[in-house]
Amino acid sequence: MSEKTALTPATHTTPPAKFSHGVKKGNILQVAGQVGFLPAVPGQPPTPAGPTLREQTLQTFANVRAILEEGGATWDDVMMMRVYLTDTDHFAEMNEIYNQYFEEQGLTQAPAARTTVYVGLPKGLLIEIDALAVLS
Amino acid sequence: MSEKTALTPATHTTPPAKFSHGVKKGNILQVAGQVGFLPAVPGQPPTPAGPTLREQTLQTFANVRAILEEGGATWDDVMMMRVYLTDTDHFAEMNEIYNQYFEEQGLTQAPAARTTVYVGLPKGLLIEIDALAVLS
Amino acid sequence: MSEKTALTPATHTTPPAKFSHGVKKGNILQVAGQVGFLPAVPGQPPTPAGPTLREQTLQTFANVRAILEEGGATWDDVMMMRVYLTDTDHFAEMNEIYNQYFEEQGLTQAPAARTTVYVGLPKGLLIEIDALAVLS
């Protein structure tokens, strides 16, 4: 009998609705869709890290990672990343950023599976990522 | 050794293809993408609850919930909700409906994680939701 | 303590970034988004099975299945299929192909749950599918 617990990093803005940034139950950890918002500043609305794909992607990774860490997980535990882009022309650049980032993270196990699709996102946002992790 | 079983509420229309509205295996329960179709009426094609986002969202929640219940689960077991909207302008209204609905459901654990993206859906449908649950 | 392992069928092209075509950890197996690329030919870029939805869908199924088999799983273990199409007009034809394919696969358990949404995909690709499996 395990409980579902919310994973709420101190850096994160309050979700705009009754959902959790991440949840963990037993050995399953689910990260909600993250975007490139900077760490929350009280009294200010969520602000993207910048207008570029690179800035937003790196901030999105940082936001996913903060939730994983809150749940005692690392990138090595991630089974699946869902990457939502708004423009097929961003695929190559996203992959470059993705590869460089995960090189630097020092994965010790197989990289996660991934699906990338092209959708609409709120104005100003170029990327959204969610993740499913299975802890050891 | 657990079997995968189909979760098929009596209220549901027959899926338009060889898939299940929900499946359960061990402690994992997956709800297929649900839309705002009213309970099935024999001999009639699936009919949305109405043209508005509110009507369709509430019916979609009811359809997801029926599948959860069929599998012995509740909203408290849901780890992840994927919300597909067709229009970014619907985000605020969907959140209002979402919050009000889950207030009323009396969750006793952390709310599920969530990803919302904007995609195409069949004509007349404004929202689709699927859900992953982990049972205790 | 289980390790996450990569599932890399010999038929598959190298992923265009640092992700795995499939991963398995404990009894959870995740298949990355697959498209209708023919088996890899060294020195040649990935090539779709053909321009039609039928050709691409059947090849995509073959690609998903190869990953499942690499992980010791079958279609019967699949809990969820996510089908990404580019055009709502393809829904009926995809369902026909889907039904026929799974009839032929001789499932012995409930068919997987499924969500179908309409997104953008790289030029020339009409369908992408990923899958979550839970092994017995």
DSSP 3-state of A65: helix
Contacts of C42 (CB under 8 A, 6+ apart): none
Contact C94, C127 (CB under 8 A): yes
Q: How far apart are the first and last CA of chain A?
A: 18
pLDDT score of A1:
58
Q: Could B18 and C98 be called an inter-chain contact, meaning their C-beta atoms sit closer than 8 Å?
A: yes
Query: Which tokens in the block code for residue A114?
Result: 């991934």
Task: Compute the average pLDDT of residues B103-123.
Answer: 97
- The tally of domains found in chain C comes to 1
Q: Could A25 and B111 be called an inter-chain contact, meaning their C-beta atoms sit closer than 8 Å?
A: no
Nearest CB partner across the interface for B20, out of C91, C110, C116: C110
Cβ of B32 under 8 Å from any chain A Cβ? no
Task: Compute the average pLDDT of residues A10-19.
Answer: 90
**Nearest residue on chain C to B126, alpha-carbon basis:** C117
Task: Compute the average pLDDT of residues A72-97.
Answer: 98
Nearest CB partner across the interface for C30, out of A80, A91, A95: A80
Cβ of B109 under 8 Å from any chain C Cβ? no
Structural domain range at position A69: 5-134
Q: What is the CA radius of gyration of chain B?
A: 15
> For residue A16, is pLDDT > 90?
no
The dihedral region occupied by A106, where left means phi > 0, alpha psi between -120 and 50, and beta the remainder, is left
Q: Could A88 and C20 be called an inter-chain contact, meaning their C-beta atoms sit closer than 8 Å?
A: no
Q: Identity (one letter) of the amino acid at C50? A: G
| Confidence label for C99 from pLDDT (cuts 50, 70 and 90) | very high
Cβ of C102 under 8 Å from any chain B Cβ? yes
| DSSP state letters, chain C | ----EE---TTSPPPSSS-BSEEEETTEEEEEEE--BPSP-TTS---BS-SSHHHHHHHHHHHHHHHHHHTT--GGGEEEEEEEES-GGGHHHHHHHHHHHHHHHT--SPPPEEEEEE-B-STT--EEEEEEEE--
> For residue B13, is pLDDT > 90?
no
Element (H, E) at B94: helix B91-104
- Asked whether the ipTM of the predicted complex exceeds the cut of 0.85, the reply is yes
Contact B71, B24 (CB under 8 A): yes
Diameter over CA atoms, chain C: 46
Cβ of A89 under 8 Å from any chain C Cβ? no
Q: Could C109 and B3 be called an inter-chain contact, meaning their C-beta atoms sit closer than 8 Å?
A: yes
> For residue C2, is pLDDT > 90?
no
Cβ of B79 under 8 Å from any chain A Cβ? yes
pLDDT score of C134:
98
Measured in angstroms, the CA of A43 and the nearest CA of chain C are apart by 35
Cβ of C98 under 8 Å from any chain B Cβ? yes
Cβ of B52 under 8 Å from any chain A Cβ? no
Q: Which of A15-19, B29-33, C124-128 has the lowest mean pLDDT?
A: A15-19
- Residue B55's CATH number: 3.30.1330.40
Element (H, E) at B34: strand B28-34
* CA A128 to chain centroid: 7
Q: What is the mean pLDDT of chain A?
A: 96
**Nearest residue on chain A to C18, alpha-carbon basis:** A99
A vs B, Cβ pairs < 8 A, gives 87
| Confidence label for B66 from pLDDT (cuts 50, 70 and 90) | very high
Nearest CB partner across the interface for C33, out of A27, A91, A114: A114
How far CA C90 is from CA of A43, A116, C83, C116, C117, in Å, comes to 47, 20, 11, 11, 11
User: Rounded to the nearest 5°, which phi and psi values hold at A99?
Assistant: -65, -45
